[in-house]
Amino acid sequence: SAVISQKPSRDICQRGTSLTIQCQVDSQVTMMFWYRQQPGQSLTLIATANQGSEATYESGFVIDKFPISRPNLTFSTLTVSNMSPEDSSIYLCSVDGAETYEQYFGPGTRLTVT
């Protein structure tokens, strides 16, 4: 299994500002995933980040709003840009198991936009 850490664990931000969330994995992985979980809701995939290529975004999510970096095989960042209160959510990163299909999740970043 993979151990994943995220920073920050939570933040309160003003509307119009941007926040960058970091995700660190204790092993090298090909793909990293970013999810959003709005209050009381399920997880929605934002994008898949492969090292060395541009992230692949899901319908409804765009690079200008959620730019992603993947500089190496153990690290990724997600930026939430020009935030509004509707961006208040938990943001989670995850990775695939090395030989299995389950995903391992970080502890999440709880974002509140005022």
Partner 1 sequence: SQQGEEDPQALSIQEGENATMNCSYKTSINNLQWYRQNSGRGLVHLILIRSNEREKHSGRLRVTLDTSKKSSSLLITASRAADTASYFCATEGVIQGAQKLVFGQGTRLTINP
Q: Which is nearer to partner 1, 16 or 98 (CB)?
A: 98
**What residues have CB less than 8 Å from 42, skipping those under 6 apart?**
none
38 vs 82, which CB is nearer to partner 1?
Answer: 38
Residues in touch with partner 1 (CB under 8 A): 4, 33, 37, 41-45, 48, 56, 90, 92, 94, 100-108, 110
Q: What is the CA radius of gyration of the chain?
A: 13
Residues contacting residue 59 through CB under 8 Å, at least 6 positions apart? none
* Shortest separation between residue 1's beta carbon and partner 1, angstroms: 8
Least separation in angstroms between CB 113 and partner 1: 16
Comparing CB distances to partner 1, the nearer of 9 and 82 is: 9
Closest separation between CB of residue 49 and partner 1, Å? 14
Torsion angle of the four alpha carbons 25, 9, 105, 2, in this order, in degrees rounded to the nearest 10: 30
CB of 68 closer than 8 Å to CB of 49: yes
